[in-house]
Amino acid sequence: MRDCSPAPVALHLRRDKGHFMRSFGIVALSVMLGGCASVTRGTTENISISSTPSGVEAVVSGLEVPTTCTTPCSVVVKRNADISIAFQKEGYEPQIVPLGRDIQTGGAAGFAGNLLLGGVVGMGVDAATGAATDHKPNPVIVTMQPSPAPRARPSAPRKPRPPAAAAPEAGT
């Protein structure tokens, strides 16, 4: 004979509620930890810029607003930005240094944390923000090359002067 008292029904509901709360907790934790690299490393990084000689103008492009600084300096950039730095100083050849992006150990650990915790959303956030990447090279160091000395322009060959007209002799 089957027991139809309310106690087994209540026990079943409590088990379902516990399963639901555990599932809800796992989902909430995954969402909170979503984008582990975004949380642990942030979406921006500091790029250090220096040159020999110092005092070179560095124009950083690839930012929302192009930024100019005088070396040595540093700028804050978004990790997902395509950055290049143009160096210029009077008397020196201009140089352009493109920066690449690379997944480093800290970024890889945060990205792997997403995978382990089931944070597919977090992996997407990290990929979109570039939080798992670092710009390379960092620091950016350049040695400026002097511009070649301007060559003196060869002077144009001189045209020979026509002989002076002989003056008529006086007294004849």
pLDDT tens per residue across span 79-102: 888 999 999 999 999 999 999 988
Order of strands, sheet of 44-52, starting from the edge strand that comes earlier in the sequence: 73-78, 44-52, 140-143
pTM over 0.75: no
DSSP per-residue letters across 100-119? EEEE-HHHHHHHHHHHHTT-
Neighbours of 9 (CB within 10 A): 10
Q: So what's the pLDDT on residue 93? A: 97
Give domain status of residue 64, yes or no. yes
Domain count, the chain: 1
CATH number at residue 90: 2.60.40
Q: So what's the pLDDT on residue 68? A: 96
Give domain status of residue 24, yes or no. no
Query: Residue 162, exposed/middle/buried by CB under 10 A (0-12, 13-18, 19+)?
Result: exposed
Q: So what's the pLDDT on residue 76? A: 93
At residue 50, does pLDDT exceed 70?
A: yes
Give domain status of residue 78, yes or no. yes
Amino acid sitting at position 118: G
Phi-psi region for residue 138, left (φ > 0), alpha (ψ -120 to 50) or beta? Answer: beta
Domain that holds residue 89: 42-104+135-145
Query: Residue 150, exposed/middle/buried by CB under 10 A (0-12, 13-18, 19+)?
Result: exposed
Give domain status of residue 84, yes or no. yes
Q: So what's the pLDDT on residue 135? A: 84
Give domain status of residue 160, yes or no. no
